[in-house]
Structure 1
Amino acid sequence: MELPLVVGVDGSHSSLQAVDWAADEAARHGLPLRLVYASLWERYEGIRPATDPERPWEQVMADRIAASAAERAARRRPDVRISTEVLPEDPVSALLSAGQDASGVVTGSRGRGELAGLLLGSVSLTVAARAPCPVTVVRGGEPNRRGAFGRIVLGVGEGAGPAAAMRFAFREAEARGCELTAVRAWRCPAGEVTDDLMIYGDPVRAHWDRAERMLEDALRGPERDHPKVTVRRETVEGSARKVLLHAAATADLLILGARRRHGHAVGLQLGRVAHTALHHAPCPVAIVPEPG
């Protein structure tokens, strides 16, 4: 059974961008697309009551918005199977529930009820932090959202192995037929003494070589499994947040893993790198849950 790609809709410009992106993504992977509207996202003002007393005007507006989003997706990708669902829940609960049986969840960067000045809507941030499946927040410039650069960036952190984010990135690059840039940022703390330093005699060289080895080890298995994917390796000195934002400027998608804390009430905990990317990245950002 093919799990659908779920996209949250609310009629906002940001959610329509998410619908466009999700329709392309569903077509790319041959997935059905499920549009979810949570009917408690907003109370509309100045709207006349529905003529049908059995249907509250909130429900009428929700149905219209969901249907309009479905029509938009169908015009863009007529080959994609599309369904809609209006749920009597708050948006976070609705999308987290939908994500239990989804290949991924897609959201815009902010909703109708959120101030334009906010860096990222609270719904998108919370869903990205807690969903059991990959979550993509559609943000950034039009060329990045459209996939004009033919390049995906994957942030590779400490202890990376055959991680979920790594597998997700290779599948995505293969489906898009684009280059995958695996980025490892590294720092050289002042005054540090390690075994590598004793070997190389140069702390910068020692940290650079360690980052190179770690990146090579992390990519070996996935490259073997996806021989058609062109991989570029980048080991860059600097903070991971700055390095990844710079790399994402000419990327169609930035992919990051987020480790799950077992037994924690709110599920995934987003680190500083993921938080920064979700608030500032110049392209769509996919957060992939990692067991750990």
Structure 2
Amino acid sequence: MDLPLVVGVDGSEPSLRAVDWAADEAALRRVPLRLVHGCLWERYEGVSPVEDLTEPSSDQVMAEDIVDVAAQRARRRQPDVKVSTEVLPEEPEYALVRESRSAGLLVLGSCGRTGLAEALLGSVCLTVAAHAHCPVIVLRAGQDGRGGAGRHGRIVLGVGDRQEAVRFALREAALRGAEVAAVRAWPCPAHESADRLPADSARLYEQQADRRLQEALREAPEGVPVRRRTVEGHAREVLPSASLDADLLVVGALRKSGHRGLRLGRTAHGVLHHSACPVAVVPEWV
């Protein structure tokens, strides 16, 4: 059975753009779409729901309206996609991380209803991206809500030291009929500045980056066009620039079993805030 594509919805315009994007993706993948809203209305009411309660609380009604509106929007956009909804009585980040255990992909819009919250991305998005068990797609404010094949036919891949993000990007490219622009950044050592780096040393660092890039993509399928590029600089600065004409930017995020706390590295954190296109954060377990 194909795992569903899960979307976190909160009634905001960014979350509705995420629904649009996810509906297109679900149609492309031929998987069900599941819309989830986390809401702690019991906390605000001060009591838990009881069986003989004849009228639902206003917060509960609003939560149900949020998922209903999102479901109607998804069905209008992709009538053939099977859509289900659920309102979960808990903090949204906890609900979504748990949902990620049985999802093929989790999609979020930039969290928060204010311009400042959208600019700063939001703690829910960062927490879910850091802890989810499946790949997470985040769309920031103002980004195109068009999913599926996209309009650029290009996926940017930030090549790190593990393979999970590489495999994900190659699968996405094959699914979409897109090319992969694979980028390996090679920052100068901290004690050397770029303008004073000896030419021989610079070539050594670049050669090492190129070798790692070739190794990471050695199993790329023949039907997927791949362009390889090494760039001097930090990945968190290089990759947002590469995302300007891309449909998706893919990066990995290390996970340590049993380790708690925020598990987003500087690269994933940086591109989530500055990418010009949706970002896929792929868990890489160590």
* Residue 67 (str. 1) matches residue 71 (str. 2): no
2:223 partner letter: K
The aligned residue for residue 128 of structure 2 is 127
Of the structure 1 ranges 54-63 and 252-261, higher mean CA displacement relative to structure 2 is found in: 54-63
Q: Is the 8 A contact 1:107 1:136 kept in 2?
A: yes
Q: Secondary structure at the match of 1:202?
A: helix
Q: Secondary structure at the match of 2:250?
A: strand
**Taking structure 1 as reference, are residues 102 and 122 closer, same or farther at Cα in structure 2, changes over 3 Å only?**
same
Aligned length in residues: 272
1:75 partner letter: R
Q: Is the 8 A contact 1:141 1:282 kept in 2?
A: no
Q: Is the 8 A contact 2:41 2:89 kept in 1?
A: no
After TM superposition, the score normalised by the length of structure 1 is 0.86
Alignment of 1:202-281 (within 5 A): 202-221=200-219, 223=220, 226-266=221-261, 269-281=263-275
1:154 partner letter: L
1:114 is displaced (CA, Å) by 8.3
The aligned residue for residue 30 of structure 2 is 30
* Superposition RMSD in Å: 2.5
**Taking structure 1 as reference, are residues 14 and 69 closer, same or farther at Cα in structure 2, changes over 3 Å only?**
same
The aligned residue for residue 155 of structure 1 is 158
Q: Unaligned regions of 5+ residues in structure 1, if any?
A: 45-51, 193-199
The aligned residue for residue 291 of structure 1 is 285
Q: Is the 8 A contact 1:119 1:280 kept in 2?
A: no
Q: Unaligned regions of 5+ residues in structure 2, if any?
A: 45-52, 193-197
- Please list the CA deviations of residues 218-263 of structure 1 after superposition, one character each: whole Å capped at 9, or x if unmatched: 1011x1xx22111110111112111101101111111111111232
**Taking structure 1 as reference, are residues 136 and 271 closer, same or farther at Cα in structure 2, changes over 3 Å only?**
same
Percent identity among equivalent residues?
58
Of the structure 1 ranges 127-136 and 33-42, higher mean CA displacement relative to structure 2 is found in: 33-42
1:141 is displaced (CA, Å) by 4.4
1:120 is displaced (CA, Å) by 0.7
1:201 is displaced (CA, Å) by 7.8
The aligned residue for residue 180 of structure 1 is 180
Q: Is the 8 A contact 2:237 2:270 kept in 1?
A: no
Q: Is the 8 A contact 1:180 1:230 kept in 2?
A: yes
How far apart in 2 are the matches of 1:282 and 1:179? Answer: 18
1:101 is displaced (CA, Å) by 0.5
The aligned residue for residue 171 of structure 2 is 171
Q: Is the 8 A contact 2:121 2:140 kept in 1?
A: no
**Taking structure 1 as reference, are residues 11 and 117 closer, same or farther at Cα in structure 2, changes over 3 Å only?**
closer
After TM superposition, the score normalised by the length of structure 2 is 0.88
Q: Is the 8 A contact 2:118 2:140 kept in 1?
A: no
The aligned residue for residue 100 of structure 2 is 99
1:42 is displaced (CA, Å) by 11
Of the structure 1 ranges 148-157 and 109-118, higher mean CA displacement relative to structure 2 is found in: 109-118
1:153 partner letter: V
2:80 partner letter: D
The aligned residue for residue 12 of structure 2 is 12
